[in-house]
Amino acid sequence: MIENKKRAKKFFLLFFAMLISLIISACGNERVDYSNAANWLALPVKIDKPVDVFYVCPTTWLKISSDEPRFCKIDDPVMIEGAKIELYSQASAFQTVGNIYAPYYEQLDLSQVDREKLVATIPTSDITAAFDYYIKHYNDGRPFILAGHSQGSNILANLLSGYLKENPEVYKKMIAAYIIGYPITDEYLEQNPHLKFAQGPDDTGVIISYNTQSPDAEGPNPLAVPGAKVINPITWTTDETLAKAEQNLGSMLLDKDKKLVPAWKYADARVDNAKGVLICSTADVDLLAPGNAFLGKGVYHSYNYAFYYFNIRENAANRTKIFLK
């Protein structure tokens, strides 16, 4: 009798655990309704290109008070306004290449510790659900580019190691993944042998990544991971040869009114494999990267796209052309 009661109790606890797991899973999938266009930062009005761009914006929300939650709501006005600026300043680099799809997501406030672990929860769940909805309802079989920055790139790295690993038929349609502003390490690639890092300007199905700083950057740079993979966005090579600013196809900087202004021959680029960063020695440190509570002086995190804007555009077009052949 006692043994039967133990079995019954064990069965009940197992059943209860499974039920809770299913509820959590269901809540994760239904947290944001991506069939609602209001939950998308960008959806194409017209499909006029043979490829798509799935863009995930960086962090645009910070907690104002300590009693706020770790993650913002999907309709948070501060997050939405900031995301629109990032769409304009970053994703626009791809607008001549593909149809742009960009979901909102419940962003992590970056003042939190264990950021990568927390990004792997709600933000990654949101974007995975958004990407799955995009594939099933919007994509219609077209090849696609993944593009992100900072927290958005962290999430896309999780998407590459999760959803795209589990769905190889979808991964085969990926032209390239611009995981900019987030380090890609040898350890990550070893854990995900289905992925490969770009070696030149023409390879497809690859990851492109770099994190920019000045030669004498000071203070914290959590994105500088020694030995992280880096590609030069001017030459699209991984060696440490300097690409001069004269070789740059053009930068695109925001002025004081948040308008994009071209800047020609502004930024050079050199890979530093030991530090795992991209070095830019020609930009104005005091003007652009004086330092803040999160990043030290000389860390050009906010300018990863801006410095090499037209190089990214040309490279995305080139990889797309090669992929379509």
Mean pLDDT of the chain: 90
pLDDT digits (tens, 9 = 90+) for 68-93: 889 999 999 999 999 999 999 999 99
pLDDT band at 284 (very low <50, low <70, confident <90, very high): very high
- Which element (helix H / strand E) includes 179? strand 174-180
Q: What is the pLDDT of residue 1?
A: 46
Cα 190 from Cα 199, distance rounded (Å): 16
8 A C-beta contact, residue 103 and residue 56: yes
Cα 140 from Cα 9, distance rounded (Å): 49
Burial pattern 275-313, b for ≥16 Cβ within 10 A else e, equals bbbbbbeebebeebbebeeebbbbbbbbbbbbbbbebbb
Q: Residue 19 pLDDT more than 60?
A: no
In a domain, 130, yes or no: yes
Q: How many domains does the chain have?
A: 1
Residues of the chain with pLDDT > 90, as a percent, come to 80
Q: Say what the pTM is.
A: 0.90
Q: What is the pLDDT of residue 28?
A: 41
Q: What is the pLDDT of residue 66?
A: 78
- Expressed as residue numbers, the domain containing 110 is 35-324
Average pLDDT over residues 93-118: 92
